Amino acid sequence: MEFDTLPSTNELAREMAVQGAVEGTTILAREQTAGRGRLGRTWTSAAGEGLYVSIILRPKVQPRRFSIMTLASAVAVAETLISEFAVTPDIKWPNDVLVSDRKVCGILLETATEGDKLEYAILGIGVNLGQPDFPDDIRESSTSLLLETRRLIGAEEFLWPLLDRLQYWYQAATSAPAQCLARWEQLSSYARDCRVRVISTAGDYDGVTRGLTETGSLIVELPGGESREVVSGEVSLRRLPAAAKGSS
């Protein structure tokens, strides 16, 4: 389904999912007036400058394992950038896709559960395609494919190959999650041996990343050797400068 403008593709997808829309229903908007990102952030969604799409999913998996789908979605976007547009991406845990160390894609996964059953999930993806510039507050942290490739890429041009990659990695996330986790680690410089600061409502701490758990949590080793599992949610990640040689 295509729309010239919507408040939020995720919100319309949620309403349709509640009404029984089938898995795979896809909603594309040329503009969003109230786009959302992770942690309640606003996603800038100007007309004609990005891909704004949401997909209804109804996987038969336990809710605690469905977080792997966020990683799988980032893998699908990253592979689309590589194969279709010759752009080298990075993935910041759990699902921000970066180019030139700046965010080019955000992914928002919203779920509805009943007991231990996942009723449905809404996968929202926003890709910066045609922005020639960004507001001051995000200019240093954001980029677009226009800025990276000097080429204006349309929403459908990006969407169709992306849907093929999403289908592949969605199936992998539900039937062969280890394959999905391994591919995510291959594509992310944050996965292992990266010094990070974990910022959460429970407090901030620094450590070094040591890969993913079988459910997609990030393992962070603290300076004293203790390991923590960071679960996607009210948490953000910041890369720290590499430690100087000879320092502990």
Contact by Cβ (8 Å): 181, 75 = no
The C-alpha atoms of residue 213 and residue 236 are separated, in whole angstroms, by: 18
Residue after which a domain boundary falls, among 187, 203, 225: 187
- Domain range for 234 is 192-239
- Tell whether 245 is covered by a domain: no
Residue 31: what pLDDT?
84
The C-alpha atoms of residue 118 and residue 63 are separated, in whole angstroms, by: 6
CA–CA distances in Å: residue 247 to residues 19, 223, 239, 242: 58, 12, 18, 10
- pLDDT for residue 243 is more than 90: no
Phi, psi of 66 (to 5 degrees): -75, -10
Q: How far apart are the first and last CA of the chain?
A: 54
Strand pairing class (192-200; 235-239): antiparallel
Tokens of 146: 């226009």
Phi, psi of 97 (to 5 degrees): -100, 130
51-86 tens-digit pLDDT: 999 999 998 877 667 788 889 999 999 999 999 999
The predicted model scores a pTM of 0.90
Same domain, 112 and 201: no
- Tell whether 244 is covered by a domain: no
Give the number of domains in the chain.
2
Q: CB count, 10 Å around CB of 135?
A: 9
Same domain, 116 and 212: no
Same domain, 63 and 176: yes
109-163 tens-digit pLDDT: 888 877 777 889 999 999 999 999 988 888 899 999 999 999 999 999 999 999 9
Region 189-205: what's the mean pLDDT? Answer: 92
